[in-house]
Amino acid sequence: MKSKIIWTFELIEEIPRVPETYLKHIENTDGLFEIRVQFGNNIYRIFCFFDKGHLIILANAFQKKTQKTAKREIEKALKIKEAYYNEKR
């Protein structure tokens, strides 16, 4: 699993237009994305956001077991994003 996550990070870093299979904007959020990693039957999501368009900040991760992403996971990622920018100021 670890090598698959690293492979996905490298893919996002190297190609200019990343397919939604690997990186997707979360609807109704201000700049929150999810990195999607599938390993066998397991699906993992890693929330992230961009700083100045280039640097990806990883927020939180979880194993996805249902079709819909849990609101509490999105809220947690948004709180991490807010804390990041507040600390940066």
pLDDT tens digits, residue range 19-69? 999 999 999 998 999 999 998 888 999 999 999 888 889 999 999 877 777
pTM listed for this prediction? 0.87
**Which strand (E) or helix (H) includes residue 80?**
helix 71-88
State residue 53 phi and psi, 5-degree precision.
80, -10
Q: Which residue has the higher pLDDT, 89 or 20?
A: 20
